[in-house]
Structure 1
Amino acid sequence: MSHFSIAGLQLELSNQDNFSFIEQEITRVKNVFPWVDMIVLSELSTFGTSTTLAQPMPGPAEQRYCEIAAKNNLWLIPGSLFERADDQVYNTTPVINPQGEVVTRYRKMFPFYPYEKGVSAGDDFVVFDVPAVGRFGVSICYDQWFPEISRSLACMGAEVIICPTLTGTIDRELELSIARTNAVVSQSYFFNINVAGRLGNGRSIVVGPDGQVLHQAGTSSEIMPIEIDLNHVRRVRERGGLGLGQTLKSFRDSQLQFPAYQQDARQSAALQSLGPLKKFGEDAS
């Protein structure tokens, strides 16, 4: 089976406990679109942006999502939640299968510093297999600004990249172009699902492996059920985007050693001259 249906839920949410509303929306989507195989929510959609509501994983919020997935017989990627692990807090996305089992978790590699204070960075790339369909990868919001992540997921076999997002700022327009770029350079489907309402400005986007925009949402609540074809990914990777650039093959066959990825590259004079990572106008201390 190469066809698979994913519904992105761009919901109007507040910076509070949105769990009951989200559960109702998941149930409603499955009733209206019973052919949907997976539902994807936006980043931090459940409890908002406060780390004080962080929970361990496994934990009560994740378990409740497992029950929702099993009840509705679908794959569920509930955006992300703040995960408390010992003395650390991570921005974490659980991946839950239709049996209500957590098959993997992804911790955001690039928290939005200096704004996402008190959140530690993850260091593991995550892919998972949907049996008889294909391989999926996960990133979260600001991760998409670093093409190394999408390229790494593609090299691990990901044919679909799921990227829950929370953006309410003027740079959403830039993220739309970044989403298309990530899809093209990784030759994969790219689902970038944003929140609407008080937390975000919507404009979720779904892009195919050839850069075609399959859907771009408006700024209010919107349900985006989209059927994808994994054989299309495989054909694009074989023949090239629009029958032209065979990006992953060229990357595979290149003998280049990129200076930016050498061990001491981050200590270069050019990067060190940029100064500290801080909010503009605030004291570096």
Structure 2
Amino acid sequence: MTATSREVRFSLSSLEVAGKVWGEPGGLPVIGLHGWLDNAATFDHIAPSLEGIHLVALDLPGHGLSDHLPMAGYSLWQQASTVLQVAEDLGWERFALLGHSMGAIISGILTGSLPERIIGAAMIDGLMPFTSEADDAPKQMARFFKSSLAVGNKRKPVYDSVEKAISARVRGGTTSITSDAASCLVERGLMPDHGGWTWRTDPQLMLPSPLRFTNRHADSFIESITSPTMLVLANQGVMHKHPQVLDRIERFKNIQLHKMDGGHHLHLEAEAPAVAGLLNDFYASLSTTDSSAS
């Protein structure tokens, strides 16, 4: 695949969604889904090395160059619905997925829910959402209500250079990331403001979820996956902070598990060539086993 990507926009019923495209029609159709607070540039370092696929990497609503949603609009299932709307716009009845972190969780929801639509899914350091049990729901909803009342009073930071915004992302992220990797995400995630630069990201994305899946809900989606599915698990990634999640992942025998040294954004860092190699093997196997891919 060429190193050059092209921009694309999808005019959906209620919003516009932006994205980046690598490859040409005729390759395996793949929709790419980034992580929380990231954008389509998350695939900049691996997409040029992927072979035989037509990759459409999205800026999910609220991220990158895509529109924002109304109040209380963000949920895993809402984002998954947007992915399906884009697939409809592309005319893709069946397609594969490439997801990182939150994008991997969304991929799991779609693959478990709609096996007839999903040819296969490759996930990078993400599979299970944060969960809580039914008895915790009132407290979780209260956290959302209180935070949502305050979100309009918070001002976004303004940086006098892109370089300072990159440094802020490196220092302030919830997971470690190199400056080179952060620069891909930051440059697509900024907009001019008062002579400087601020984040395009919707502040609502920082709100706590009003409702979470229970453990049983989360397990059920993964257990329902019948399409070929691969997970690249970073040995120094985000899920290693949650040993109980790792234990659950090991129990899913329907997931091809590949463990690799590297951090949460290993597909954007030094490990990118190795990740691309795993992805090429996976997508090649889908191309040979699914005659309906177009």
Where is the helix percentage greater, Structure 1 or Structure 2? 2
Where is the strand percentage greater, Structure 1 or Structure 2? 1
Q: Which one scores higher on RCO, CA 8 angstroms, separation ≥ 6? A: 2
TM-score, normalization by structure 2: 0.30
TM-score, normalization by structure 1: 0.31
